Amino acid sequence: MTQAQVQVQAQAVNADQGQKPKRRRAHLVRRSKGEKIFAVFNIAFFIIFTIICVYPFYYLIINSISSNTMSAAGEINLIPQEIHWENYKAVLGLEGLSTAALVSLGRTVLGTALTVFASAFLGFMFTQPNLWRRNFWYRVFVVTMYFNAGIIPMFITMKLLGLTNTFWVYVLPAIVQPFNIILVKTYIESIPRSLQEAAEMDGAGIVRIFYKIIMPMCTPILATVAIFSAVGQWNSFQDTLMYITDSRLYSLQYLLYQYINQASSLAASVRNSTGGALNMAALASQQTPTSIRMTVSVVVVLPILFVYPFFQRYFVKGIFLGAVKG
């Protein structure tokens, strides 16, 4: 074969190699009319669904920074009017708000950390065949998901344990959550058993295996449990209502509950605290029950909205792998 023939053959091969990816890409991009229609409706549906989910938060925010008189009259729906920040200055200056914020932050951080650790360790232990009466204790945990003693026996128990009017009443009862333990247990069962067996052959104990092998591999499900626990701790107010009478231990959500129920008197007290007569320019920023409700709701909701996106990438994966054993 001459050199010219070799060059021609090489060019032909290169041309074929260059055309194959294009043909493959064209084949992958080509879709039927029905698929295109479905894609359009699918995108439109999720856009509308997203707007429905986001709009309530947007509505709270624009009403908290708009003219209070217009907001009270229901005239603020899409675009904020006469923007001001007096509502946030007034609400953030309310008595007890900073203390309540610290209580809510402390219970959320500490409660979430302990719940994640307990869920991981108990979920791991329930996968160990050497655990004494493993099936019995696992069923005991599961039964507590469906049956409870009720509010009054729970209050009596907390009182006898000396937890009422203490910070620990927020943390200790929520450490062991059966649903979270089931999620972690199912996730750990999907991890190859050979990893633990190899570590045992190298002389690793059960605690070392848990910390060095199991915990690092459970990041998605533990992040999911952390989301559940953090949202539950931050939004909880009924435990404050039942167990706490000391105002220094009020949570932020409980203050929100009080402020919403007492919005009219609270707005009057905020207006009176400013002192002096209001001119026409300050009339739009004069606090009303509606402005108090909107502003306090934003103050309480925003922190959890900022935290959630950091764990979102683990959420779907953790739920999927923790709910289906494969």
Q: Is residue 250 part of a domain?
A: yes
255-277 b/e (C-beta count within 10 Å ≥ 16 → b): bbbbbeeebeebbeebeeeeeee
Considering the domain boundaries, does residue 125 fall inside one?
Answer: yes
Percent residues over pLDDT 70 in the chain: 78
Within a domain: 46: no
Q: What is the mean pLDDT of residues 255-280?
A: 60
What pLDDT does residue 8 have?
47
pLDDT greater than 90 at residue 110: yes
The region of weakest confidence among 52-61, 91-100, 108-117, 255-264 is 255-264
Tell me if 7 is assigned to some domain.
Answer: no
The answer to whether position 71 is within a domain reads no
Q: What is the pLDDT of residue 265?
A: 61
pTM above 0.75, yes or no: no
Please state, in angstroms and rounded to a whole number, the distance separating the CA atoms of residues 293 and 67: 14
Domain boundaries, position 205: 86-323
Helices 97-125 and 178-189: crossing angle in degrees, nearest 10, is: 40
Classify residue 143 as exposed, middle or buried by CB count within 10 Å of its CB (0-12, 13-18, 19+): exposed
Please tell me what DSSP assigns to residue 248: G
Among 273, 185, 248, 265, smallest CA distance to 221 is for 185
Predicted confidence band of residue 280 (pLDDT cuts 50, 70, 90): very low
Q: Counting beta carbons within 10 angstroms of the beta carbon of residue 207, is it exposed (0 to 12), middle (13 to 18) or buried (19 or more)?
A: exposed
Average pLDDT value for residue range 196-210: 85
Number of domains in the chain: 1
| Average of per-residue pLDDT values in the chain | 78
Task: Count other Cβ atoms within 10 Å, centred on residue 135.
Answer: 9
Nearest to 168 by CA among 211, 114, 227: 114
Q: Average pLDDT in the 31-41 region?
A: 85
Domain annotation covers residue 59: no
| φ, ψ at 108 (rounded to 5°) | -70, -45
Is residue 289 included in any domain, yes or no? Answer: yes
Percent of the chain with pLDDT over 90: 13
**Residue 133 backbone zone (phi > 0: left; psi -120 to 50: alpha; other: beta):** left
User: Does residue 69 lie in a domain region?
Assistant: no
Q: What is the pLDDT of residue 287?
A: 67
**pLDDT-derived band of residue 111, with 50, 70 and 90 as boundaries?**
very high
pLDDT score for 277: 43
CATH number at residue 159: 1.10.3720.10
